[in-house]
């Protein structure tokens, strides 16, 4: 078909009634010019009004930028300039507040739904070696057999020679990697137990919950639109030492479909006749309030009403906002004599601490039901201490500012644990143990206390 330029038909010429006065063309032209001038004047007035509404520092910056762009002997990199401006702005706020580009924020939204991409690891550094801190469930790293606590003793292209390096060098290697590569990992620094694992970055649906008892072990396998738990060799199965009437659930984040996974774990616990629970929140850095409110709905023993308060946010303006549970069904899963104990550490933060606060306030647990890990004797055992909340503010272009907007308080006591955390001196137990490791000495200790 022949392509044609689009156009608008000219309006039909109106039929003149007999004796009607013809329009004055000169007057029409004068009116048109006047309308254009009025529009220009209004635009300039609005622009100057906006310009002089800016603070003096910003006006000075705009002048300096324009002068530099016009007169400097080289072109300036505007993108780099704006990056530096955003970094300077981030330097004025706390570590949780930051600027995201449209693409960065789109990735965050995907991950908030559990739709991740990559290999699924977080890494710390110990004695110059990268060490896996967390491995996301159902990720390529998890499915390959990597686990938290392993040292990265070598890495390189599949079939090639492995190299070594610190965390920065390791991430530099991972950046942009599109083909298979190998990592050599083990729990011992000397490599005596190390193996090579083949990895490939890919999209995956993250798993955030693991269920175990004295008979079996399950985790969410991460297939889309499916929250079924499956038994698998990818996790250790039954927990030796766990009492027969007790279940163990590990919750890694308040993200994706963690609330659905958690409920599936509770349903499995109920179907197997377990009445006590060991809840593992170690290294759980938090997540979304909506997920917290859903999970909390199962864990508030003495809460009243269909949707009890889980937390309260206090804003600078004096406004207070309450966050309520999606339900209140503790008695569906637990009995009057059920006991819940919690494992936590200095990586237990934000939504995890808020969940602990709700459980304490509603009598589900006492502080003596909390076991806190410390790395060595003499150190203070505590949770992280994050009692503040962030919100996202999008621009017209899709870029986003994430800003800390409020303090978060427990539902009844109104406790805020910002920069404080839950500490062993508050009647919680202190356990000296390295984490993570091949043998979970902290979990073994807690199970020994429950036996």
Q: Is the pLDDT of residue 184 over 60?
A: yes
At residue 35, the pLDDT reads 60
Give the pLDDT of residue 198.
96
Does pLDDT of 3 surpass 80? no
What's the pTM value of the predicted model, to 2 decimals? 0.83
pLDDT in tens, 348-358: 999 999 999 99
What pLDDT is stored for residue 405 in this prediction?
Answer: 95
Per-residue confidence band for 15, with pLDDT thresholds at 50, 70 and 90: very low
The arithmetic mean of pLDDT across residues 11-19, rounded, is 35
Q: Is the dihedral of CA 168, 170, 173, 175 positive or negative?
A: negative
Phi first, then psi, for residue 135 (nearest 5°) are -125, 120
E strands, 109-216, are 115-118, 121-126, 129-135, 151-157, 181-186, 195-199, 202-205, 209-212
Please enumerate in sequence order all residues whose Cβ is within 8 A of that of 406, keeping only pairs 6 or more positions apart, or say none. 313, 314, 315, 316, 321, 388, 389
Coil vs helix vs strand at 313: strand
Mean pLDDT of 23-43: 55
Instruction: Place 52 in a pLDDT band, splitting at 50, 70 and 90.
Output: low
- Residue 230 clears pLDDT 90, i.e. is over it: no
9: confidence class by pLDDT, cuts 50, 70, 90:
very low
Say how far apart CA 168 and CA 421 lie, in whole Å: 30
The confidence band for 225, taking pLDDT boundaries of 50, 70 and 90, is low
Q: How does the average pLDDT of the chain come out, rounded?
A: 85
Q: What is the pLDDT of residue 82?
A: 85
CA–CA distances in Å: residue 56 to residues 47, 52, 63, 89: 16, 8, 11, 17
């Amino acid at each position: 078909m022949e392509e044609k330029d689009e156009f608008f038909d000219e309006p039909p010429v109106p039929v003149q009634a007999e004796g009607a006065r013809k329009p004055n063309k000169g007057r029409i032209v004068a009116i048109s010019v006047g309308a254009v001038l009025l529009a220009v004047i209004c635009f300039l007035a609005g622009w100057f009004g906006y310009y002089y509404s800016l603070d003096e520092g910003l006006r000075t910056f705009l002048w300096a930028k324009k002068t530099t762009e016009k007169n400097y002997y080289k072109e300036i990199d505007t993108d780099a300039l704006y990056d530096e401006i955003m970094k300077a702005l981030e330097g004025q706020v706390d570590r949780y507040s930051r600027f995201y580009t449209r693409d960065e924020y789109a990735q965050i939204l995907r991950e908030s739904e559990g739709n991740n991409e990559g290999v699924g690891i977080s890494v710390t550094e110990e004695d110059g070696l990268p060490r896996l801190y967390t491995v996301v469930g159902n990720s390529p790293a998890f499915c390959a057999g990597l686990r938290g606590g392993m040292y990265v003793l070598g890495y390189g292209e599949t079939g090639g020679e492995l190299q070594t390096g610190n965390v920065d060098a390791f991430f530099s290697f991972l950046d942009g990697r599109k083909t298979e590569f190998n990592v050599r990992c083990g729990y011992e620094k000397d490599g005596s137990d190390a193996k090579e694992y083949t990895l490939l970055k890919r999209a995956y649906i993250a798993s955030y919950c693991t269920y175990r008892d004295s008979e079996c072990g399950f985790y969410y396998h991460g297939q889309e639109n499916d929250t079924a738990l499956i038994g698998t060799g990818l996790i250790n199965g039954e927990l030796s030492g766990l009492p027969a009437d007790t279940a163990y659930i590990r919750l890694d984040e308040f993200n994706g479909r963690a609330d659905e996974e958690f409920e599936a774990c509770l349903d499995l616990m109920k179907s197997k006749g377990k009445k006590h629970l060991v809840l593992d929140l170690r290294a759980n850095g938090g997540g979304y309030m909506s997920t917290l409110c859903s999970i909390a709905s199962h864990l508030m023993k003495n809460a009243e009403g269909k949707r009890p308060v889980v937390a309260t946010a206090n804003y600078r303006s004096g406004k207070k906002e309450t966050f309520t549970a999606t339900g209140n069904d503790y008695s569906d899963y637990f009995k009057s004599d059920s006991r819940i104990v919690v494992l936590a550490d200095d990586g237990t933060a934000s939504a995890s601490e808020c969940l602990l606060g709700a459980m304490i306030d509603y009598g589900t647990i006492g502080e003596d039901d909390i076991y806190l890990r410390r790395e060595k004797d003499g150190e203070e055992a505590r949770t992280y201490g994050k009692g503040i909340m962030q919100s996202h503010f999008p621009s017209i272009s899709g870029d986003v500012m994430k800003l800390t907007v409020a303090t978060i308080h427990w539902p009844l006591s109104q406790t805020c644990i910002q920069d404080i955390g839950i500490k062993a001196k508050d009647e919680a137990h202190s356990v000296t143990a390295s984490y993570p490791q091949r043998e979970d000495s902290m979990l073994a200790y807690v199970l020994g206390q429950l036996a």
